[in-house]
Structure 1
Amino acid sequence: MFKPMRSAAVTSLLIAAIACSASAMLLFPGRVHATAASDSNDPTLERDSFAALNALYASEPKAKQIGAKSRAILVFPGIVKAGLMVGGLEGNGVLIEQGKVTAKYNISAASFGLQAGAQKFSQVMFLANDQSLAYLNKSSGWSVGVGPSVVVVDSGTAKSMTTDNLNSDVYVFIFGQKGLMGGLGVQGQKITRTSH
């Protein structure tokens, strides 16, 4: 009696895993298995990054105010997060300084725990001062949570915050979520330069 029950449980897990993978591929065809190298050379990356930044500015005026005071802006227009028990996220983006793209970056992270599903979203990181930009430039791979202080801005925080005095080094906006996975954050993300 024990073996059939264990077999049924394993079968259920396999079906769930296949369903997760299939839904991820349907939601984000060609992106789930994309490599950092292929995306960093994508000629549409800059266009998509500026489009994502403008979409954020249109929906959240406070982001535009922070952007005007920031030293540089990291934009990741299409991060994909997917998993079943063990998951991860990956995407590519650009560094914008004074309205121009100066470098391209990859973002990645692994996650563990109860999770199932796939999700695609955009993430914009405003580097508020010279120190945060210098840290990014000298890092061979910036592990978010180590180094500059980071604040994730949600709708509640945006309403109450003031841009007169930006006390943190980096302000992060995560938006445009689609899919089933919740609990988005930036702790443990690794940001690596892929090109100049």
Structure 2
Amino acid sequence: MTILTRRTLAFGLAAAALTACGNGIGSQGPNKIDARVDATLDELYTNYPGTLSLRDKSVGQLVMPLVTEAGLGLGGAYGRGALRVGGATVDYYSTTKASAGLQIGAQQYAHVLFFMTEESLTSFRRAPGWAAGANMEYAYPEGGSTLAAETTTSMAPVIAVIFGQAGLRVGATLEGVKYTRIIP
């Protein structure tokens, strides 16, 4: 008879989270990431036309086409994407997220960080690993609707738009997100 301990459960969840991180982008090189970034931006601008004004006002966008997130008590997320400046890819990044608290479930989503100032973009590019902080505003567009006026006129240096959620994850957690430059 096997006894399920907390340590066994934690290791099992960690293994499941790492397995879930194979989110389809893999290490197939920059061409694959760029193709997914193009498709993600097309979907964003087509389904949420209010984001066009964010694009036009921003100095750069970090596009994460697919982030996979799972949690049961402890959780994590992973995704890969590209930083676009002037419509061209200038670097590739990964995002990792850790969370702890009352949570259960898994989901996948896309997100785009719009850098609204040169200073925020420069700070992001110079950092060895950049953590999302209080200077970022989140926007969650509802199906087919545009972003609220306060989001598109916000003075926040970075605006994150999260969309295309699939799956279900519920709970109350403490979370941390980190973006790191990668070589695909």
Do these two structures clear the TM 0.5 threshold for a shared fold by scoring above it?
yes
Select the residue among 139, 147, 151 that pairs with 1:153.
Answer: 139
Q: 1 CA distance for matches of 2:64 and 2:180? A: 12
Per the alignment, in what secondary structure is the counterpart of residue 145 of structure 1? coil
Q: 1 CA distance for matches of 2:102 and 2:174? A: 18
Structure 1 position 175, deviation (Å): 0.7
Indicate if the aligned counterparts of 1:40 and 1:106 stay in contact, CA closer than 8 A: no
Indicate if the aligned counterparts of 1:93 and 1:106 stay in contact, CA closer than 8 A: yes
Select the residue among 61, 81, 86 that pairs with 1:73.
Answer: 61
1:190 partner letter: K
Indicate if the aligned counterparts of 1:40 and 1:195 stay in contact, CA closer than 8 A: no
Alignment of 1:17-28 (within 5 A): 21=16
Per the alignment, in what secondary structure is the counterpart of residue 156 of structure 2? coil
Segments of 5+ residues of structure 2 without an aligned counterpart are: none
Q: Which has more helix, going by share of residues?
A: 1
Listed one character per residue, the Cα deviations across residues 51-90 of structure 1 (whole Å, up to 9, x for unaligned) are 1111111111121111111100000001000122111001
Q: Which moved more, 1:173-182 or 1:65-74?
A: 173-182
Distance 1:187 1:67, change over 3 A: farther
Per the alignment, in what secondary structure is the counterpart of residue 188 of structure 1? strand
- How many positions carry a matched residue from both structures? 174
Please identify runs of 4+ aligned residues in structure 1 that moved more than 2 A.
30-34, 38-43, 154-157, 159-163, 182-187
Structure ID, larger Rg? 1
Listed one character per residue, the Cα deviations across residues 76-135 of structure 1 (whole Å, up to 9, x for unaligned) are 001000122111001000001111111000100110112222111101000011001110
Q: Could you state the TM-score of these two structures normalised by the residue count of structure 2? A: 0.80
- Identity in percent: 30
Distance 1:161 1:39, change over 3 A: farther
Segments of 5+ residues of structure 1 without an aligned counterpart are: 1-6
Distance 1:162 1:75, change over 3 A: closer
Q: Could you state the TM-score of these two structures normalised by the residue count of structure 1? A: 0.75
